[in-house]
Amino acid sequence: MASQLYVIEHGIEDVSSESPVEVVLAVQPVLDASDDPAASAAWCERLLDMYRRWASRRHMQIEERPGARGDPSLAVISGFGAARVLSRETGLHVLEYT
């Protein structure tokens, strides 16, 4: 319930500021991508799965567009509040080995 209220609040702000209704996320390995291509692909899949679950829990739509060979995969996420909530996702997600 709290996450729905959070998304609704941001959705209202999106409408007021005429923010886009879709967000495009590019998922690609940046660091150490050449060391182990299979591990890089697995990491990208884990990250995409995280966004799939995130969108599903918030009743948002996600459309995946696999990149051409060597290009990043794209995820187009749309829904009320998607732009404002996901604008904070700019940057890198880092996999740390322990």
More confident residue, 81 or 9: 81
Q: Where are the chain's structural domains? A: 2-89
In this structure, are residues 78 and 22 in contact, taking their beta carbons and an 8 Å threshold? yes
pTM of the model: 0.71
* Chain segment 2-56, per-residue pLDDT in tens: 666 666 666 677 666 666 678 888 888 776 656 777 888 888 888 899 999 999 9
Concatenated DSSP letters of 27-49: E---SSTTT-HHHHHHHHHHHHH
In this structure, are residues 29 and 43 in contact, taking their beta carbons and an 8 Å threshold? yes
From CA 62, how far away is CA 75, in angstroms rounded? Answer: 6
